[in-house]
Structure 1
């Protein structure tokens, strides 16, 4: 069976998108997702995105990280599929229903409301999630936020000197995080500007992480580190604009693009 795909990216965070809304595909397991994501023998991507029909929204988005594990949310992929869909839509995800709206060269996404309870992150035991009394080799006192998926955010003086390639996987898989965690190191560069690097759960260092930008912006606002409820978050791949509205919704605006289209033989990866 020959299956079409669309290769897309949001600020360099790249995706292989399979559209099964009209014609369902056979089940995708962890091994197949990992093989398609492999940059040497597969198509190559940070995440594999599967679009399906939904009973509670316009369609459903499923997200598989490069390690084959299925996760709840992906902000950059949400902007990409907004462009692919071409119209405002309600999208079901494992992390909740989001609203996507394409714009010139990108999209605006209503990511829903953040969650702060220790059991909502989730953490292995109760603690203050605004300033957690934990640390790893000099990275101390992070905030934790769930924006459809779990994040910890460390505010530092210089994101570039943090060995995130080494500490990221250690923190991601720490027993404190029963569902693992995305690891963010952030520097507040101005009253409305944050610099950010992210170790993404199941994908590693990434050029951009939309949910990481949302979680970091909200954490900075809760701590009073920025002046208002709108910030620009600078990632290695570019900038996202994040607003935490008075109605407690997180709005993310930024670019996305199609890289190329193609097809593959299902049996080569199943």
Structure 2
């Protein structure tokens, strides 16, 4: 069975998109996702995106990380899908319903209302998520937010100096986070700008993370370090994050289609 795919990226965070909205595909599981994502023997990507019909939205978006694990949300993939769909849409995700609106060279995504309760992250036990009394080496007192998936955010004088390839997996898999967590290190440069690096749960170091940018922005806003409209500079480029007075986050930024192709399903199933 020959299956078409679309390779896309958002600020260098890259995806394989499988569109099963009109023509169904065989079941996609962790093994298939991991095989397709392998950069040596597969097509290669950070995440595999599967589009399917939905009974409650225009369509459904499922997201599989490079390690095969399915996750709830991906901001960069949402912009890529908006570019592909080429029209405003309401999309069902594991983290809830989101609204997409294509724009020149990218999209704006209504990422919904962030959650800050310890049980929303979730944490293993109750604590204040605005300034958590925990630390790992040079990473101390993070804030936490769930923006469709769970994030902790550490504010550091120079986020580029953090050995995130070492500390990222240490924090990600700590027992404090029973469902693991995305790890963000941020440097606030002004009231309207911050710099960010992300260790993504199940994917590792990434050039960009849309939900991470949202989480870093809203935690910084809660701490009154920045205003409600923030430019977030990631290694792959910049995103604009706006946290409205209605509590909803809007993320705006670019997305790109790289190429299209086909693969033989049985080679990866």
TM-score normalised according to structure 1 size:
0.99
Q: How far apart are the structure 2 equivalents of 1:269 and 1:174?
A: 32
Partner of 1:224: 224
Task: Kindly state the Cα deviation for residue 29 of structure 1 after the two structures are TM-superposed.
Answer: 1.4
Deviation (angstroms), 1:59: 0.1
Task: Report SS of the residue matched to 1:33.
Answer: helix
List per-residue Cα deviations over 1:115-163 (Å, max 9, x = no partner): 0000000000000000000000121000000000000000000011100
Equivalent-residue separation in structure 2 for 1:230 and 1:6 (angstroms):
32
Residue 245 of structure 2 corresponds to: 246
SS in 1 for 2:216: helix
User: Could you tell me how far apart the structure 2 residues matched to 1:157 and 1:138 are?
Assistant: 11
The CA distance in 2 between the partners of 1:65 and 1:87, in whole Å, is: 26
Q: CA deviation at 1:191?
A: 1.0
- The residue number in structure 2 matching 1:39 is 39
Separation of aligned partners in 2, 1:91 and 1:71: 15
Tell me the equivalent position of 2:198. Answer: 198
- Pairs aligned (count): 269
Q: Which residue of 2 aligns with 1:5?
A: 5
Where 1:87 maps in the other structure, the secondary structure is coil
TM-score (ref. length: structure 2): 1.00
* Aligned equivalent of 1:14: 14
Post-superposition Cα deviations, 1:195-240, rounded to whole Å, max 9, x if no partner, equal 00000000000000000000000000000111x2000000000000
Give the Cα separation in 2 of the matches to 1:28 and 1:79: 22
Q: Tell me the residue number matched to 1:132.
A: 132
SS of 1:125's partner is: coil
CA distance in 2, matches of 1:127, 1:153: 15
Q: Which residue of 2 aligns with 1:210?
A: 210
Task: Tell me the distance in 2 between the aligned counterparts of 1:31 and 1:5.
Answer: 17
1:182 aligns with 2:202: no
Quote how far apart the aligned CAs of 1:28 are.
1.0
2:91 corresponds in structure 1 to 91
Aligned to 1:66: 66
Matched position secondary structure for 1:111: strand
Rounded to whole Å, the distance in 1 between the matches of 2:74 and 2:178 is 19
Which sections of structure 1, spanning at least 5 residues, go unmatched? Answer: none
Cα RMSD of the aligned pairs, angstroms, is 0.4
State the secondary structure of the residue aligned to 1:175: coil
1:45-72 deviation line (CA, Å, top 9, x unaligned): 0000000000000000000000000000
Q: Does 1:116 align with 2:120?
A: no
| In 2, Cα distance between equivalents of 1:108 and 1:138 | 35
